[in-house]
Homo-oligomer: A and B are copies of this chain.
């Protein structure tokens, strides 16, 4: 049974890394003593080792060890044998580029479809959608494709940010960007605010956390849905 947490962010303001999610993660990863970590998104350009060490800290609090995929000779095998998988945030272009280079997208999909619990935050959540076309990241490298895992049949926009009514900046708002996305693409987009996540349990797909999410469907005005909403209507 598929078991996935697709989180907007690893960290909410004023709290430690993954802290707001730890109670959930205890349950989510109950059958895993060790988590396979995919550090490819390299936030701020840090190394895979540095990133893995950083992520090990919050997991230690719930009694889990963390091992980075870069420490394995055979990354595909590491994925298929993992008891739990976490892909962290950073730059989605860097992440997707490396996932293609290592040719592991299909392995992750296979493992998750076979029931390996998966956690994604930010860039690691973007890749759960059909494509990475709704990332907020800067395109600092050119990946072979924007196609991603398609674990859910829509796209994710993590760190969703409401327009600032006082801004004098002329750059596009997030809502304008997603509207532009729908001039060229038809799949729905979920704007996930920081502190929200999507929980996939088998056939059930539910919005979690304290906040509403903003839904962008092709040809419709965007609208809000409350937490605990069933997202099956988008599927």
Contact = CB atoms under 8 A, between A and B. Distances in A.
B184 A13 contact: no
Interface of A: 9-14, 42-45, 90-91, 93-94, 132-142, 145-146, 159, 161, 168-172, 176-185, 194
Contacts of A9: 170-171
Contacts of A172: 43, 137-138
A25 B179 CA distance: 31
A42 B180 CA distance: 9
Given A170-B9, A170-B13, A180 B132 contact: no
A179 B133 contact: no
Q: Determine how many copies of this chain the complex contains.
A: 2
A16 to B, nearest CB: 12
A178 B139 contact: no
A141 B10 CA distance: 27
22 contacts: A9-B171, A11-B170, A13-B168, A13-B169, A42-B180, A44-B176, A44-B183, A45-B180, A45-B183, A91-B180, A93-B139, A94-B180, A132-B139, A133-B138, A135-B139, A136-B138, A138-B177, A139-B146, A140-B181, A142-B145, A159-B169, A159-B171
Top 4 nearest A-B pairs (CB, nearest first) are A45-B183, A13-B168, A159-B171, A138-B177
A48 to B, nearest CB: 12
Contacts of A181: 138, 140
B138 A134 contact: yes
Contacts of A145: 142
A142 to B, nearest CB: 5
Contacts of A43: 172, 180
Nearest to A90: B180
A3 to B, nearest CB: 25
B171 A161 contact: yes
A212 B177 CA distance: 27
A214 B133 CA distance: 28
A201 to B, nearest CB: 26
A33 B190 CA distance: 47
Contacts of A171: 9, 136, 159, 161
